[in-house]
């Protein structure tokens, strides 16, 4: 059975059209525990699922979107206190991103979208740097921010809470343990007011913040909630990819 023509991992060279890619999509996740009930690959699984479904919607519209293999390691230095968390420093991520962008540039693929699945991945400074060295237009989608989670979930949570658990129940239900085996996702907050309010920022020491690695109670999660959110997010991402595919990179701006 031939692979999906919009998923590079499944495409053979013989079946690859000469002009196979208007927009490349790179899912980028992380490897870390997600409370007690979700797998270590949650961020990667969700980013890849969002990317592939969005690309499928575009393919059905006649567009040529190509999903690159998922990057499974994220910026997790503050989570190394939990077993088998794998950290990739931002400086390493920047070099990997540059190598990928240069490879695409060599093939005259000029548009790359990162579908980010991990809150600790901060790609903005990397994109600013890499963009100056390649002809490829780079942009970022943090998929969980595409639509307001509070319109879909009682308490979306920050990490392995209701939002992420619901989406995983939809895209990879066999990998989700029963919710009665999940921790409460209760998180401690900074004592310093400015850090609590968010106008000052410091990375959180995850081991001291949460006992079960979760931030947000997943107990109200459901596959139905996850399916609705996933559907609406991928429809919106596909709309963005459609517009980007048609965009003239030499004429990206207009008057308000």
In a domain, 208, yes or no: yes
Distance, in Å, from the CA atom of 86 to the CA atom of 209, rounded to the nearest integer, reads 19
pLDDT attached to residue 18 = 76
| Domain enclosing residue 131, as ranges | 8-246
Structure tokens that stand for 57 in this block: 């919607």
- CATH number of the domain residue 211 falls in: 3.40.50.10310
pLDDT attached to residue 15 = 87
Distant-in-sequence, close-in-space partners of 30: CB < 8 Å, separation ≥ 6: 43, 44, 72, 73, 74, 75, 76, 86, 117, 118, 120, 121
pLDDT attached to residue 213 = 96
Cβ-based neighbour number of residue 194 at 10 Å? 11
In a domain, 252, yes or no: no
Distance, in Å, from the CA atom of 222 to the CA atom of 164, rounded to the nearest integer, reads 10
pTM, full prediction: 0.96
Distant-in-sequence, close-in-space partners of 197: CB < 8 Å, separation ≥ 6: none
pLDDT attached to residue 238 = 98
Distance, in Å, from the CA atom of 170 to the CA atom of 224, rounded to the nearest integer, reads 7
Separation of first and last alpha carbons in the chain: 49
In a domain, 162, yes or no: yes
In a domain, 41, yes or no: yes
In a domain, 2, yes or no: no
pLDDT attached to residue 2 = 77
In a domain, 156, yes or no: yes
Distance, in Å, from the CA atom of 175 to the CA atom of 113, rounded to the nearest integer, reads 27
Domains of the chain: total? 1
Is 25 within 8 Å of 113 (Cβ atoms)? yes
192 CB burial (10 A radius; 0-12, 13-18, 19+): exposed
pLDDT attached to residue 20 = 77
Q: What is the pLDDT along the chain (256 residues), one digit of tens a residue?
A: 778 999 999 999 998 877 879 999 999 999 999 999 999 999 999 999 999 999 999 999 999 999 999 999 999 999 999 999 999 999 999 999 999 999 999 999 999 999 999 999 999 999 999 999 999 999 999 999 999 999 999 999 999 999 999 999 999 999 999 999 999 999 999 999 999 999 999 999 999 999 999 999 999 999 999 999 999 999 999 999 999 999 999 999 999 9
């Amino acid at each position: 059975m031939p692979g999906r023509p919009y998923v590079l991992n499944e495409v053979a060279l013989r079946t690859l059209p000469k002009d196979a890619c208007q927009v490349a999509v790179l899912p980028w996740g992380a490897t870390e525990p997600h409370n007690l009930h979700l797998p270590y690959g949650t961020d990667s699984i969700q980013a890849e699922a969002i990317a592939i479904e969005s690309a499928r919607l575009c393919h059905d519209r006649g567009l040529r979107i190509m999903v690159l293999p998922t990057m499974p390691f994220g910026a997790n230095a503050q989570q190394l206190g939990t077993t088998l968390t794998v950290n990739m420093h931002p400086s390493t991520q920047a070099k990997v991103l540059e190598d990928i962008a240069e490879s695409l540039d060599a093939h005259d693929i000029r548009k790359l979208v990162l579908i980010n699945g991990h809150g600790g991945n901060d790609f903005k400074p990397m994109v600013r740097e890499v963009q100056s060295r390649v002809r490829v237009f780079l942009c970022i989608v943090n998929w969980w921010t595409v639509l307001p989670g509070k319109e879909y979930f009682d308490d979306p949570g920050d990490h392995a809470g209701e939002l992420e658990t619901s989406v995983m129940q939809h895209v990879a239900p066999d990998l989700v343990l029963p919710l009665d085996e999940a921790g409460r996702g209760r998180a401690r907050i900074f004592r310093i007011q400015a850090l609590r309010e968010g106008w000052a920022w410091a990375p959180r020491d995850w081991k001291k913040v949460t006992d079960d690695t979760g931030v947000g109670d997943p107990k109200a999660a459901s596959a139905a909630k996850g399916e609705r959110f996933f559907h609406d997010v991928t429809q919106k991402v596909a709309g963005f990819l459609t517009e980007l595919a048609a965009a003239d990179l030499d004429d990206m701006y207009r008057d308000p």
